[in-house]
Copies of this chain bind each other. A is one copy, B any other.
């Protein structure tokens, strides 16, 4: 069993319920990972993912081995059939097979580089590790998705939602740098498995990949979208059509108290790290309706659920 995307969740309600069970007593499966290791391979920076995945592993008795590929290992080649006479020292074919011999599970973080759309869409790093590894692979954010984040978000929604079909808004918000689409993509995919009135709002030109958004309603009018919302999920991303570009700063898209007042006393969500007073005002982020800290907390239980399921499958 791999956990590469939201598509690997067979039943979201079951997963969420089980994660909430784990959260009540995180050490109940402590023997499951005994004498096993998980390799956490980082090609990019990480705080929540780095620490929560280690914590989740430890709760399962699984030993985490962290490796920062960017400065601790060798530059990897991903193309097939190349003459490797340039900067890359090792091919993913060997790296993935070899690491599979030392680690019982491999988790990988490799962001979109936002230079080459086709390459990013291919999830080169994640997919090649998956292809050549002989052990389960966990996506700790790839160029296309961040399904551990989306699973933590689903847990958080379940904990704070009291409606049958709440109105949930994914709102683009401004950011000075070009950011990947992974978090937004996985959130959208996760929402498609939820009973909810789900709306995406962003300025023109920031449409996400239509193969992911499918028929999700999209509006360019943020205030319209916020009306009656029960949850506001903020996130920046760069343009998908004009790939990887920051089209304009759109400071008026920042989420502040005034906009939140348009909602049905909505909860505020963000995956973190968040730029204060750029994405969201201090007032909203510090407010009692902000769920961002609990979302981060649920990263542990999302990871623990995924690792538990992988370890259990491995036993069969």
Contacts and interface: CB of A to CB of B under 8 A. Distances in A.
Interface of A: 27, 30, 35, 37, 39, 42, 45-48, 50-52, 54-55, 58-59, 63, 65, 67-68, 71-74, 77, 81-86, 88-91, 93-95, 97-99, 101-103, 176, 272-278, 282, 286, 292-293, 296-297, 300
Most buried by B among A42, A71, A296, A297: A296
Contacts of A50: 67, 72-73
B278 A102 contact: no
A164 to B, nearest CB: 30
A67 B86 CA distance: 29
Contact of A94 (B37, B68, B84, B274): B274
Q: How many chain copies does the complex carry?
A: 3
Contacts of A103: 51, 55
Contacts of A72: 42, 45-46, 50, 68
B37 A27 contact: no
A91 B285 CA distance: 11
B273 A90 contact: yes
Given A54-B65, A276-B77, A297 B94 contact: no
A67 B27 CA distance: 24
A65 B51 contact: yes
7 contacts: A45-B71, A45-B73, A47-B73, A47-B95, A51-B67, A89-B273, A94-B273
Contact of A54 (B52, B94, B102): B102
Given A39-B51, A90-B272, A94-B293, A84 B277 contact: yes
The majority secondary structure among interface residues of chain A is mixed
B45 A74 contact: yes
Contact of A90 (B83, B91, B93, B274): B274
Contacts of A54: 37, 65, 102
A273 B52 contact: no
A248 B300 CA distance: 53
A54 B66 CA distance: 11
List the 4 closest A-B pairs by CB distance, nearest first: A90-B273, A84-B275, A51-B102, A98-B296
A82 B30 CA distance: 43
Given A37-B58, A275-B84, A48 B98 contact: yes
A88 B39 CA distance: 29
Contact of A91 (B67, B84, B86, B276): B276
B63 A46 contact: no
Contacts of A58: 35, 37, 63
